[in-house]
Amino acid sequence: MNSAVAPAYCPERSAERVLAQVVEFAPNGVAVTTAAGRIVLVNAELERMFGYSRSELLERSIESLLPERFRLGHALLRTGDELGDVRSRAMGAGRELLGRRADGTEFPIEIGVSTLQAPGEALVVETIVDISVRKRLERMFQKMVEAAPCSMVMIDARGRIVLVNQQAEVMFGYTRAELIGEALELLLPERLRATHTGHRQAFAAAPSMRQMGMGRDLTARRKDGTEFPVEIGLNPVPGDEGGGLVLAAVTDITRRKAMELEIQQANANLEEFTYAASHDLKSPLRGIADLLEWIIEDLNGLQSAEVTRNLSRIGDRIRRLERVIDDLLTYARAGTMSAEVIPVDPRALIEGVLEIQPLSPGFQVTVHVDAQPFVTAKTPLETVLRNLVANAVKHHDRASGHINIRVEDMDRYCVFTIADDGPGIPAASQERVFRMFQALSPAARGSSGIGLALSKRLVESHGGRIALDSADGVRGTVVRVSWPRFRWRKSHE
């Protein structure tokens, strides 16, 4: 009885088959060549990558897969002294290398080379990677950096500049060639360079995306030696070989600093004026009012009608001047953001304003509220709304009228809209009404003309916006206040 004999299991042949499958289905192109560069084995990815069939690739020179201008250099690298050293290495590191497809098109590649000692001869294994996508992303990144509106500086792990954009050249006064390869400390004042090296090393030890120098002033230095204030954002970028790169976005804040100083000076002057108004004006004015009362008492009604009328006019002017001083003090203090925040119900807020500021008998008010309660500084918001409702009545040219108040949530704002059917405000005067001491209607001549200016200052100091809408020839004025529904913080808080 005959029986079939199963072939003996051979670990070596099994391993060869597995290895062949690994090579065949590798995601990168693989070509095995002789020492002379003749291709003896390729995988499917190499066929797809270069557009040749396997039969077209076998026995041809590996250099035929490169543009003619690269072939000689590739052959020299392949046949160099390193060939006898059985190890892996990257070919063409630090320089551009291109492949050439069957249709003649070229594309960027990376080649890894290793040697393999086969029976009778040494073979070369080349792993080829198509890096077209990576190169396209690199070009996009370079374009984004170049087009950035601020100065962009990239440094390596040693603190050497490896990339800058045109804005950096303009900002610092150096050419690109003068900056590449130099230490970042070149862009700092000499007195800060030693300490900055320590800061840079500390950041390299624990890199993270952050704003540099929070809470302190940063100063940079131009090529001509002049210094200027900057703001720097740091963003770590992983390097190709594990070395960390850092991309710094540098913004020249000279204009901002100048504006901050101007605002600080203006606020200081306003505080001095507030002190003077409180102590040097109001006290003497109160003394004049007292003298007027004593004169009236001394006359005991024996004065003529004309004298009585003039004394009354003096009293009116004193009271008006006292109101002006009080309004100025209120305006000066309005720039300081209120720290007390409480939950505010928009409907209850409007009802409270109308209760405190009752309308004249001939006026009607319509209220529509479609807004949720929020947390904010109630007192300044209430002051603004009270001023706007009072203005709508005070500047009306008729004994009766209608005021429409609408409250609604829009994005991060609670928007208060106060619309009246009064005479309107000419377009030429709309910007002027937000300035101090501006009273456009005859009915408002007895006021200080500071209500809208105060409202604008209160709204903007709390992070909001105020706008006015009135068309020439059309009755009615609409004032819209956008008040933040979330706590607004100034940059220095």
The per-residue pLDDT for range 347-392, each reduced to its tens digit, is 999 998 888 777 778 889 999 999 999 999 888 888 889 889 988 8
User: What pLDDT shows up at residue 138?
Assistant: 80
Give the pLDDT mean for 164-192.
91
Task: State if pTM tops 0.85.
Answer: no
User: What pLDDT shows up at residue 328?
Assistant: 67
Give the pLDDT mean for 64-92.
67
User: What pLDDT shows up at residue 83?
Assistant: 44
**Which range among 74-78, 171-175, 366-370, 396-400 shows the weakest confidence by mean pLDDT?**
74-78
CA distance 378 to 94: 64
**pLDDT single digits (tens) 92-112:** 444 568 999 999 999 999 888
User: What pLDDT shows up at residue 334?
Assistant: 65
Question: Half-sphere exposure (CA, 13 Å, Cβ side) for 263?
Answer: 9
98-107, 131-140, 203-212, 457-466: which is most confident: 98-107
| Residues 6 or more apart whose Cβ sits within 8 Å of residue 61 | 37, 38, 39
Pairing of strands 401-410, 363-370: parallel
* The two structure tokens encoding residue 365: 């008010």
**Which range among 221-225, 245-249, 437-441 shows the weakest confidence by mean pLDDT?**
437-441
Tell me the one-letter amino acid at 310: N
**Which range among 330-339, 351-360, 399-408, 466-475 shows the weakest confidence by mean pLDDT?**
330-339
CA distance 200 to 198: 5
User: What pLDDT shows up at residue 491?
Assistant: 46
User: What pLDDT shows up at residue 165?
Assistant: 92
**Rg of the chain on CA atoms, in Å:** 40
Query: CA-CA-CA-CA torsion for 393, 394, 399, 403, nearest 10 degrees?
Result: -10
Model confidence band, residue 296 (pLDDT cutoffs 50, 70, 90): confident
Q: Is 10's pLDDT higher than 60?
A: no
